[in-house]
Amino acid sequence: MSKDNLDPATPDDHTLAELVIDLDALAHNVRTLAGIASPAEVMAVVKADGYNHGVRQVVDTVLGAGATQIGVATIGEALEVRANGCTAPITAWMWYPGEELAAVFEHNITLGLPSLAHTRAFLEAARAADLFTPPTASLMFDSGLSRSGVGPQEWEQVVSLVAEAEQKCEVRITGLMTHLASADSPAAKATTDLQGERFQAAIDYCREQGLLVPTNHLANTPATVTRKDLHHEMVRTGVGIYGVDPMEQPLGIDLRPTMTLRARVLTTRVVPAGEGVSYGHLWRAEKDTRTAVVALGYADGLPRSISGRFSVTIDGVRYPQIGRVCMDQIVISLDDSDDPRAADHDVRPGDWAVIFGDGGTSLDEFSTIAGTIAYEVLTMPRGRVQCRYLPVSTPALPSPSTPAVAAAETAEDMREIGRALGSQVEAGTVIVLTGPLGAGKTTLTQGIAEGMGVKGRVQSPTFTIVRTHKPGASGTGLLHMDAYRLLGEDVAQSIEPGKHVDRDVVLDALESLDLDADLDEVVLVAEWGRGVVESLSDKVLDVEISRATEAGTDDEARRVSWRWL
């Protein structure tokens, strides 16, 4: 199944069936879940070829939308993601003792350790490799799923082995992970509570034994959206980023479908009354009936078991499938639709028939008809089905109730985020920029200035305290401030968390600089401004920049989050 196409299918492509993957919806879903999870990081799970969406395109999209780490099942999947150019942390958790690990170490893949045997194999391979940088692993703790993970009989021995190895700088343990059994079911809250308690106890035990375990994760998509108490340092989202509400009783989260399966109509005809259709003649025409053949069958992933139990949608009109699902094709009745528009609807060869997705049956409805779950249906299409991608659009500013997160792999990415913000803010807005030294606050401001179209080169305001940029075509100017130096070090350091400096104090400090600007007519960007400038406007956008990788590395990757106050 080809997964490289960005252009609409044409007759020259000979494409009879396709998956339309909406990357903009994918990015939206990641931003939504990242906002819910904040301040925890987001690991995006892209196993099984990105849930059949195309792993390369999915990885690029999720990292651009705010995920900071990637999760896969197998070592092979991890190496593929790395070979595609991904520099973010990658964790893989399915492997067997004795599997070759040289490539894992070479490409900096974090391995899950699900048993004592796996732990011993990992440590032996790490020591034999004699690496300059210790390889990384995540301890897989069995909190109650009883599938894969270190159980209570082996736990203390595993922790002892890795604690000793980490002390000798032979390995580095990034944290603990576990899998929840029933987080999607409100009725199973007691089970989830117990797993959460066991997981926290396991973390505490590791730290008692000298392990730092800095980044721990057990929250899948259901726990991400319903259990903030289980977020820890990172959540591990899977099906939610592909637009599926994960709960047994849907919560109505703002998740958008990412996949549409559709196929071409090949021919139409009239089946005379009394004649049977398709193999076995499971369906017979009670009257002369118009039918159409659609180019999709069980060789393309459509289950034969749903023969005669589903519909396809053409131009918004649903038509029932009749007879058996064949290897390459299905038949639909054009005269048995419940939609009154069908009588005047002219279905022709070449038309697209939607099996599920945009413009047709929902993924959840199709899953119910097929007697399975959305996870499985997403991974069904295969073989001759081609993939086409709808690109990501510029992210809009979030509403006051919806925070957002984006990833910036490079300085240019940081400027692009700034451009998106700058193109949408209005006069009177105060943007509070927070982040460590060298995080990219001035780089982000350069993008904001470009998005606003203001005049003048944007430089750090450290020495001038406030820089003024005159308006361009938009008519809105920009003030770029170092709020820390505006009030002086003594005042800035005395601000209590959650408290704000009095508005008059800030205004007096600005007036002392002889600024010729009305704050209602400009956008004020304040570096180090948290606790200082919020009182200056009722339109305050709080932006925080953090490193997506460990401090002290040369990696430029950053995580940018923003929310209205």
| CATH number of the domain to which 186 belongs | 3.20.20.10
Please determine, for residue 466, whether its predicted confidence score (pLDDT) is greater than 60: yes
Residues 279 and 350 grouped into a single domain: yes
Among 334, 361, 388, where does a domain finish? Answer: 361
Residues 155 and 288 grouped into a single domain: no
Query: pLDDT of 509-560, one tens digit each?
Result: 666 555 545 778 899 898 877 877 788 888 889 899 987 655 445 566 788 8
Residues 40 and 169 grouped into a single domain: yes
- Indicate whether 172 belongs to any domain: yes
Place of tokens 């058996």: 324
- Indicate whether 366 belongs to any domain: no
Tell me, what's the pLDDT at 496?
Answer: 44
Q: Is 279 a catalytic residue?
A: yes
Residues 237 and 263 grouped into a single domain: no
Give the count of domains, the chain: 3
- Indicate whether 494 belongs to any domain: yes
CATH number at residue 461: 3.40.50.300
Tell me, what's the pLDDT at 492?
Answer: 44
Q: Comparing 186-200, 390-404, 459-473, which segment has the lowest mean pLDDT? A: 390-404
CA distances from 122 to 78, 94, 384 (A): 16, 13, 40
Catalytic residue among 189, 279, 287, 455: 279
Of all residues in the chain, what percent carry a pLDDT higher than 90? 64
Residues 204 and 344 grouped into a single domain: no
Return mean pLDDT, the chain.
Answer: 89
Domain span holding position 272: 259-361
Residues 128 and 269 grouped into a single domain: no
Give the DSSP H or E segment for 444: helix 441-452
- Indicate whether 14 belongs to any domain: no
Query: pLDDT of 65-87, one tens digit each?
Result: 889 899 999 999 999 999 999 98
Catalytic residue among 47, 51, 298, 319: 47
CA separation for the pair 137, 122 (Å, rounded): 9
CA separation for the pair 331, 293 (Å, rounded): 5
Helix (H, G, I), strand (E, B) or coil at 42: strand
Q: Comparing 50-59, 106-115, 142-151, 488-497, which segment has the lowest mean pLDDT? A: 488-497
Residues 348 and 206 grouped into a single domain: no
Query: pLDDT of 145-162, one tens digit each?
Result: 999 999 999 999 999 999
Please determine, for residue 109, whether its predicted confidence score (pLDDT) is greater than 60: yes
1 labelled binding-site residue? no
Q: What is the DSSP letter of 445?
A: H
Residues 138 and 278 grouped into a single domain: no
Query: pLDDT of 407-419, one tens digit each?
Result: 788 888 888 888 8
Query: pLDDT of 275-325, one tens digit each?
Result: 999 999 999 999 999 999 999 999 999 999 999 999 999 999 999 999 999
- Indicate whether 372 belongs to any domain: no
Tell me, what's the pLDDT at 402?
Answer: 60
CA separation for the pair 343, 336 (Å, rounded): 10
CA separation for the pair 315, 252 (Å, rounded): 26
CATH number at residue 332: 2.40.37.10
Query: pLDDT of 204-257, one tens digit each?
Result: 999 999 999 999 999 999 999 999 999 999 999 999 999 999 898 888 888 999
Residues 42 and 159 grouped into a single domain: yes
Residues 146 and 208 grouped into a single domain: yes
Tell me, what's the pLDDT at 491?
Answer: 43
Q: Comparing 104-118, 138-152, 257-271, 466-480, which segment has the lowest mean pLDDT? A: 466-480
CA separation for the pair 147, 477 (Å, rounded): 59
Residues 187 and 267 grouped into a single domain: no
CA separation for the pair 551, 507 (Å, rounded): 36
485 labelled binding-site residue? no
